[in-house]
A and B are shown apart, each in its own frame.
Chain A
Amino acid sequence: MTAHHRYELSKALTVAAIILYIPANFLPVMTITITGQVESLTVMGGVMELYDTGLVPVAVVVFLASVVVPAVKLVSLSWLLSLHGSDISQSRRMKVHAFLTRIGTWAMIDVFLLSILVAVGQLGILASVQAEVGALFFAVMIICTLYAADVYKTHMIWRHPLPKSQ
C-alpha cells in the first residue's frame, strides 16, 4: 500500500466514523429489565446512571473511555488528515498521532461491558439485559477509528523523509 492509498483509506475511515458517531451516541445500546422495570440506555445514559447511583469515579472512567476518547480521536484525526502533506506543526502532529494510537482501544470498554451485562441478564424474568442496535453502530465506529489511526503511519506526516544528498 502506498502512502497515498493509506492517506485515502484513513480519510474514508474517519468520515465513516464521524457519520457513525451520531447513531452510536443517540440510539440506545442496551435495555435493562429488572424486576419489571424496563429501561433503555444510550452510552451517555449508562454514564449518567452510574453517576446518579453515586459511583462517580467509575462514571468518570466510562465517560472518558466511551464518550471523550472517540470524540477526541475523531477531532484529532480530522486535524491530522487536513494537514497531510503540509509542513505545519509536524512534530506536534507526530505526538498527537502517537497519543491517538495509545488511547484508541479504550472505547471498546463499552462493548465489553455490554457483553458482560448481557451474559448476566439471562435470569429469565428476574433480570435481563438486551443489546440494542446502537451498540452495533458504536462497535463499527470504534473499529473505523482504530484502523484510521493505524493505517496512517508516522512517517507520512513528514513530507521529505530523506535528504537529497548526504
Chain B
Amino acid sequence: MSALNSSAPPSDLRWIQCPRCHASLRDRQLQPHEFLCCGRCGEQVKSAHPGRTMMAAWAFAMAALITLIPANMNPILIFSVAGSYQENLIITGVEGLWMQGFQPLGALVFFSAILAPVLYLLSVSYVSACWTLQMRLPFMGAALRLVEALEPWNLLPVFAIACMVSVVKLRTLGTVSWEPGSLWILATAVLTMLAIQCFDRKCAELYVEGVK
C-alpha cells in the first residue's frame, strides 16, 4: 500500500473474527460482489457492499407492519354449530385463555402472536431506516438490541400453520369457513422472513457503534 496509510497494516495481513463461531479469518480486500465467508461455519463475515440490502429490509418490514393491521382486524375463521356462529380473531383466543383462568397462556399468545411481531418489525424498520437515510437517530442501539432479543420469537409462521390445522380440526365439530385474516397472517409471516433475510445485522451493529 502507499505511504499514506502506512500506519494501518494492509487489510490482507489483518485477522478478523467470525461473529458466529469466533474462528480467525485472514482479512482481505474484496472484489465487487464478493463475500468473505467463514471457513468453519459458513457465516458471511464481510461483504463488498455492506448494507446493500438494508433498504429492502426497511421496505419489507414496513410492508409487514401494514399487513399486521388487517391480520389482527379480520377474523381468522368463522365457526358455526347448530345455528349460532362465532368470528375468531387472534385476540379472541387471548381473551378465551384469559377468561378460563389461564392468564400466563393468554399473555404468552398475546406476546408471541401480537406484541413481539409489532416490536420486532418496528425496530427492524427503525434501524434499517437510520442506515438507509444515514441519520443517527436516538434509541438506535436500543432498537438493535430489541431485534436481537426478539429473534427467537418469530412465531408468526407457526401461527399461520396453526390456523390451517385448526380449520381442519374444527371441521369435525361443526361448520368452519376460512376468513381472510389467516391469509393476512401468512402474508405478514412471509414479509417478516424476507425482512430478516435482507437485514444486515453486522452492518447495523457497526453503524450503531459509530464505525461507518
Contacts and interface: CB of A to CB of B under 8 A. Distances in A.
Asked if A pairs with B, the answer is yes
Interface of A: 32, 34-35, 50, 53, 55, 58, 61-62, 65, 91, 94, 101, 104-106, 108-109, 111-124, 126-127, 130-131, 135-136, 139, 143, 146-147, 150, 154-155, 157-158, 161-163, 166
Contact of B109 (A34, A61, A111, A150): A111
B197 interface: no
B161 A61 contact: yes
A87 to B, nearest CB: 14
Given A94-B41, A119-B92, A150 B152 contact: yes
A105 B168 contact: no
Contact of B105 (A94, A135, A154): A135
A135 B102 contact: yes
Contacts of A116: 76-77, 88, 93, 162-163, 166
Interface string B109-129: 100110000000000000000
Interface string B2-46: 000000000000010110111110000000000000001100000
A122 B172 contact: no
Contacts of A130: 100
Contact of A155 (B15, B22, B76, B77): B22
B155 A108 contact: yes
Contacts, number: 146
Interface stretch (B66-74, B79-87, B131-139): B79-87
Contacts of B106: 115
Contact of A118 (B40, B100, B152): B100
B158 A105 contact: yes
Nearest to B91: A119
B152 to A, nearest CB: 5
B159 interface: yes
A166 B15 contact: yes
Interface in B154-190: 154-155, 158-159, 161-163, 165-166, 168-170, 172-174
B123 to A, nearest CB: 18
